[in-house]
Chains A and B, each alone.
Chain A
Amino acid sequence: MLKPAEHTITAKNLTKTFGDFTAVDAITFEVKKGEIFGFLGANGAGKTTAIKMLCGLSSPSSGEANIAGFDIYKQPEDIKKNIGYMSQHFSLYGDLTVEENIRFYAGIYGLKSTEIKERSVALIKELGLENYAKRFVAELPLGWKQKLAFSIAIIHNPKIVFLDEPTSGVDPITRRQFWGMIYSAAAKGITVFVTTHYLDEAEYCDRVSIMVDGEMRDLDTPTALRTKYNLPTMNDVFLHMAVRSKRSE
């Protein structure tokens, strides 16, 4: 049933309940290798809980899921080695330099020292941070920090990278560059699972799912969704669906 070669994420009736409250209600979907998968939903729709289950931070109440070829219940340790994660919080250490942050994250993913050195040099060059390598990350502008955080989240070449609102608070130009980085990561075969509040970004995704009240209401390419609801932008599609939410914020 599960074909890890084609699908890097498969979820079947994945559910999380907290007491009487069903945060995520039997979501079923598949994400293809190298796909950029948009995960939309209003605050409280269950996005974060769903991501936490997929990353192994939270165990599902019921349902099945296979991440990067590993079972979510039986092989959480293998999953962790094969995914990258960037949270909506800024996730680097401000009191460590650019180089030290890279070395730390590469280190906890068990990369060899020689690999760490090579990738560190390559990464700094790619981001044009040569003059900032020895500077504390706290001194960098927010946009640069976010780009650095993304590069570090995929430094161990994961099969999947989960991005939880990676561009919040970033200016439009940097957002554009950020999406450029997402595309090149996807081109290298890394599956990108991304949540966002900017609905213009939803247009950049290969496919988009919309969560309302813990359920996955729809899932398709942005073009197909716009056609289906006969609306001009993803923003309109999202509003059209989210308006029917029973959960108040």
Chain B
Amino acid sequence: MKQFLAFVRKEFYHIFRDKRTLMVLFGMPIAQLLLFGFAITTEVNNANIGIYNQSPGQFSNDLVQRMTGSDFFRLSANINSEAEMLEAFQTNKLKMVVVIPPKFEQNVTAGNAKIQLIADGSDPNLATILTSSAEAVIMTWMKERAGTNIQIETIDPQVRWHYNPELKSAEMFVPGVVTIILMLVSAMLTSISITREKELGTIEILYVSPLKPAVIIVGKVLPFAILSIINAILILLVAWLVFSVPVNGSVVLLLFEMLLFIMTSLGLGVLISTVADSQQTALMLSLFGLMMPTILLSGFIFPIANMPLPLQVISNIIPAKWFLIIIKNIMLKGIGMAYIWKETLILLGMTAFFIGVSVKKFKIRLQ
């Protein structure tokens, strides 16, 4: 036990004396969170749009006013020709142009009016959001008009977004950022810290010493486990205070699941260090072998259901996928173990597997 404590103390010295490690440990999570929170948002405010009104009149003016009166859009140019419109797109002045065709005024009264929404498709996400917002504004305008004049039979879908009623993007990215941070910090820093001793040659001294392989491994991962859980709590606090993302479910359960996922990641980190002989290799393996699949295939950014079948199958072996389901369920839906025991079991299995394999590989190296 005393040997173990001496080892853990040494590990803390390494961590607190290395600026790069500290940056990754505490600087990056906060930076990522703020970056995702403020820069990457799926909400649209004051998008620059243009109006190409080929049928000026009471109706078209009314509609234009309605559109530009909303928070979504800001009228930044009146377009007078197709060439002008193309130029505005090319110079990036406009994100969308509303084209009101000739005879719009007569057609509105006749009930067969058309309107064209042309959006800059080079940014598909934004284009989708803009056109659907515009459609919504037009629909409302139409309904109001219909209410005063004639009765049109329409079905009016009432949409409600459960668990995230305001469709805040923060509620989507906080669980994702927590997942990525825990994975990155635990796996990358552990694998680098072990391969560093390989590079320095100090690992040989540890092998020759009476320290058992298990003590070395646990001594290496324990400090990162402690710091990761502190990190996770910090992220949740920032998410709550800055972005008002609450934890709807049990905080204790969430911390327990986080600890489990940290163990999974630490296991992966040790596994990487048994394969990699240099810090450089460990870093590359962590970034491309873990980070990329975690970001792309966990369902954090791209929905798994929309992926081609082979990728959907592959996503099952990504631990982050399962953790993301768990953390979303606890944080947003506020549900308990009864609904996430399957995912928890899968993570437990993966963790046991990674730790088992790395301890075995670690021992083989000693032979």
Contact = CB atoms under 8 A, between A and B. Distances in A.
Interface of A: 55-59, 77, 80-81, 83, 85-96, 100, 103-110, 162
A77 B210 contact: yes
A109 B209 contact: yes
B10 A96 contact: yes
Contacts of A58: 367
Contact of A57 (B6, B9, B14, B204): B204
Q: Which range contains the number of B residues in contact with the other chain?
A: 20 to 34
Contacts of B7: 104, 107-108
A87 B18 contact: no
21 contacts: A56-B208, A57-B204, A57-B366, A58-B367, A77-B210, A81-B210, A83-B208, A86-B205, A87-B205, A89-B201, A95-B14, A95-B17, A100-B13, A104-B6, A104-B7, A107-B9, A108-B3, A108-B210, A108-B211, A109-B210, A110-B210
A87 B367 CA distance: 18
Interface in B203-257: 204-211
B209 A90 contact: no
Nearest to B17: A95
A56 B206 CA distance: 12
Interface of B: 2-3, 5-7, 9-10, 13-14, 17-18, 200-202, 204-211, 366-367
Given A100-B13, A107-B6, 4 more contacts: A80-B209, A89-B200, A93-B200, A105-B209
Given A100-B10, A107-B6, A91 B209 contact: no
B219 to A, nearest CB: 9
A96 B204 contact: no
A103 B3 CA distance: 11
Given A55-B208, A85-B205, A109-B210, A90 B200 contact: yes
Contacts of B210: 77, 80-81, 108-110
Contact of A93 (B202, B204, B208): B202
Nearest to A90: B201
Contacts of B206: 108
Nearest to B200: A89
A210 to B, nearest CB: 24
A93 B366 contact: no
A77 B212 CA distance: 9
B313 to A, nearest CB: 38
Minimum-distance CB pairs A-B, first 10: A89-B201, A107-B6, A85-B208, A80-B210, A95-B17, A91-B205, A104-B10, A108-B3, A81-B210, A87-B204
A105 to B, nearest CB: 8
Nearest to B6: A107
A59 B9 CA distance: 31
B117 to A, nearest CB: 60
A104 B211 CA distance: 12
A77 B210 CA distance: 6
Nearest to A110: B3
A99 to B, nearest CB: 11
Given A85-B204, A87-B204, A110 B2 contact: yes
B18 A95 contact: yes
